[in-house]
Amino acid sequence: MAVRKYNKLPQTAVLKQILKRCSSLGKKQHGYDEDALPIDVPKGHFPVYVGENRTRYIVPISFLTHPEFQCLLRQAEEEFGFDHDMGLTIPCEEVVFRSLTSTLR
């Protein structure tokens, strides 16, 4: 279950495009450094918002290579699209997300 390729780009390039389009990075606001990166997100990680309450989780970029996480990204694209200002929102229950991510670590 790989992320579908857009314009025959390598999978890593596609995943970077997805993160760029759907993240709230690039906005100059409180909690961001001069490069518009969130201060509280360590290098090699990115924030996602999960569940009805949109609880914020910080996950490693390495999750992007896992088919299970890619499935969540496809669900996010289908439900929310990637052209919005809400950040990367994962459409699943928090308990399911925590269970999945604990197996990926």
What averages of pLDDT result for each successive group of 10 residues across the chain (105 residues)? 51 67 52 67 90 93 93 90 78 94 88
| Token pair in block for residue 2 | 């790989």
Q: At which residue do the structure tokens 């993240």 appear?
A: 23
pLDDT attached to residue 72? 92
pLDDT score at 104: 87
Query: By the 8 A CB rule, do 25 and 36 touch?
Result: yes
Residues 55 and 49: beta-carbon distance below 8 Å: yes
Write the CA distances from 41 to 5, 18, 45, 57, 80, integer angstroms.
Answer: 28, 18, 6, 10, 23
Give the pLDDT confidence score for residue 5 in this predicted structure: 43
pTM score, two decimals?
Answer: 0.66
Residue 23's pLDDT is what? 54
Query: What pLDDT, on the 0 to 100 scale, is given for residue 6?
Result: 46
* pLDDT at 33 (0 to 100): 66
- Give the pLDDT confidence score for residue 83 in this predicted structure: 72
